[in-house]
């Protein structure tokens, strides 16, 4: 099953008496280039975000919750939200449907199909083609467990392919030969999804740009919450790479894997199953373009943007030097979620990837 699409002459100088004409022609050529580049991208298919996401409950036992909320953004794009009562991570998953295939981005934090009927729900959403369900590709923004715990539900299903979550598997499947550079494409049939390496939160992190809707599905790279930074230099380079990629492309929304802030910009308590007054799921282009600059004020532990928080709640001790402490009251725990505990000397990925 083939899912992937694998990856100007300069003018001579004119004599001085032609300079004025050359400058006019050059300016016109540059203008036409950018006009053509902008017009080359069709307008995104609009969708609806008129939805109140399941906010969980202060007492989940006393307030039964549907484990999975499904919202149709438009007829070929579905947003699924796992209830905060099912798991405090409350992941957002995304189903994109083409004419030939479908793509599911992430499988969430709950493995048990009795507690989280993810695979059955996805199959119900998939249209039929030639008297069978459309083939499905299951890919991940990264390999943290809350983004892949539901994978086993899809393992035995026909016409379903689950992409490996280790770096070599990701590189091989998408055809990246110079990671983290390059862009891969998934062709769903009349719908191209660009796959962009975005390491920094995790070494295998990917973002997905949907050419149909103009949405960037950003996982934990960019979301209204805590941006957990494992490699600040790689994170900043990823941000610059995505900004550059989207420079001439339409961007309707940026949708991440979680909501961890309320409307006042305050982070929910780590492990909370109740998210009253949640921040909107979607972020905008200005949130992305502000991300590289946000690293300039990042002190290795904490920096604040109105719609997200840069944080590294763990800093590895070098030699015998103790772990540095963050400013009092400013750094709080977050999913994946490692606190500054002296003597805890492993990376976030090593700890969270362990099963």
Average pLDDT over residues 119-140: 96
Contact 188/170 with Cβ under 8 angstroms? no
Q: How confident is the model at residue 298 (pLDDT cuts 50, 70, 90)?
A: very high
Mean pLDDT calculated for residue range 139-147: 98
* pTM attached to this predicted model: 0.82
CA distances to 43, 106, 109, 153 from 113, rounded to whole Å, are: 38, 15, 11, 7
Q: What is the DSSP letter of 178?
A: B
At 159 the pLDDT is: 94
The gap between the terminal CA atoms of the chain, to the nearest Å, is 30
52/66 Cα distance (integer angstroms): 14
Euclidean distance between CA atoms 34 and 44, whole angstroms: 19
Q: Which residues contact 182 (CB under 8 A, 6 or more apart)?
A: 7, 176, 197
Q: In angstroms, rounded to a whole number, what is the distance separating the alpha carbons of residues 281 and 225?
A: 10
Report pLDDT for 18: 33
Q: What are the tens digits of pLDDT across the range 216-238?
A: 999 999 999 999 999 999 999 99
What is the C-alpha separation between 83 and 89, in angstroms, rounded?
A: 9
User: Any residues with CB less than 8 A from the CB of 172 and at least 6 apart, and which?
Assistant: 164
Instruction: Tell me what percent of the residues of the chain surpass a pLDDT of 70.
Output: 77
Higher-pLDDT residue of 46 and 1 is 46
Q: For residue 346, what pLDDT is reported?
A: 37
> Can you give the pLDDT at residue 6?
57
Q: Where are the alpha helices (DSSP H) in 126-258?
A: 167-174, 232-245
Contact 227, 304 (CB under 8 A): no
Taking 90 as the threshold, does the pLDDT of residue 16 lie above it? Answer: no
Please tell me what DSSP assigns to residue 28: H
Pick the residue with more confidence: 35 or 114? 114
Cα(231)–Cα(236) distance, rounded to whole angstroms? 9
pLDDT per position as a tens digit, 81-111: 999 999 999 999 999 999 999 999 999 999 9
Specify whether the CB–CB gap between 303 and 294 falls below 8 A: yes
Read off the pLDDT of residues 154-184 as tens digits, 9 standing for 90 and up.
Answer: 999 999 999 999 999 999 999 999 999 999 9
Q: How many residues are there in the chain? A: 355
Residue 130, CB-side half-sphere exposure with 13 Å CA sphere: 6
Query: Whole-number mean pLDDT of the chain?
Result: 84
Please write the tens of the pLDDT for every residue from 262-273.
999 999 999 999
Q: Is the peptide bond before 180 cis (omega within 30 degrees of 0)?
A: yes
The pLDDT assigned to 313 comes to: 73
- Rounded CA-CA distance 223/284 in Å is 10
């Amino acid at each position: 099953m083939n899912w992937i699409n694998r990856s100007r002459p300069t003018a001579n100088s004119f004599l001085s008496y032609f300079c004025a004409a050359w400058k006019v022609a050059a300016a016109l050529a540059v203008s036409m280039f950018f006009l053509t580049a902008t017009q080359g991208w069709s307008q995104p298919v609009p969708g609806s975000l008129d939805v109140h996401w399941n906010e969980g409950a202060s007492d989940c036992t006393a307030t039964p919750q549907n484990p999975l909320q499904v919202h149709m953004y438009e007829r070929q794009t579905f947003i699924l939200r796992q209830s905060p009562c099912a798991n405090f991570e409350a992941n957002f998953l995304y189903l994109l449907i083409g004419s030939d295939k479908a793509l599911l981005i992430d499988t969430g934090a709950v493995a048990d199909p009795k507690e989280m009927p993810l695979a059955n729900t996805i199959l119900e959403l998939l249209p039929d083609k030639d008297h069978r369900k459309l083939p499905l590709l299951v890919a991940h923004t990264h390999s943290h467990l809350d983004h892949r715990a539901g994978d086993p539900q899809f393992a035995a299903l026909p016409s379903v392919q689950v992409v490996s979550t280790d770096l070599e598997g990701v590189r091989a499947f998408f055809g990246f030969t110079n990671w983290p550079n390059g862009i891969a494409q998934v062709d769903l049939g009349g719908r191209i999804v660009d796959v962009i390496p975005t390491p920094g939160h995790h070494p295998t992190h990917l973002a997905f740009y949907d050419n149909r809707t103009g949405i960037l599905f950003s996982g934990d790279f960019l979301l209204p919450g805590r941006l957990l930074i494992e490699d600040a230099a790689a994170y900043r380079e990823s941000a610059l790479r995505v900004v550059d990629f989207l420079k001439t492309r339409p961007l309707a929304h940026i949708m991440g894997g979680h909501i961890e802030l309320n409307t006042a910009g305050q982070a929910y308590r780590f492990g909370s199953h109740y998210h009253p007054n949640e921040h909107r799921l979607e972020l905008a282009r200005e949130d992305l373009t502000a991300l590289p600059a946000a690293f300039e004020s990042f002190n290795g532990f904490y920096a604040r943007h109105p719609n997200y928080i840069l944080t590294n709640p763990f800093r590895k001790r070098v030699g015998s030097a103790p772990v540095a402490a963050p400013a009092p009251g400013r750094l709080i725990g977050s999913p994946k979620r490692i606190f500054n505990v002296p003597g805890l000397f492993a990376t976030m990925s090593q700890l969270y990837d362990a099963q």
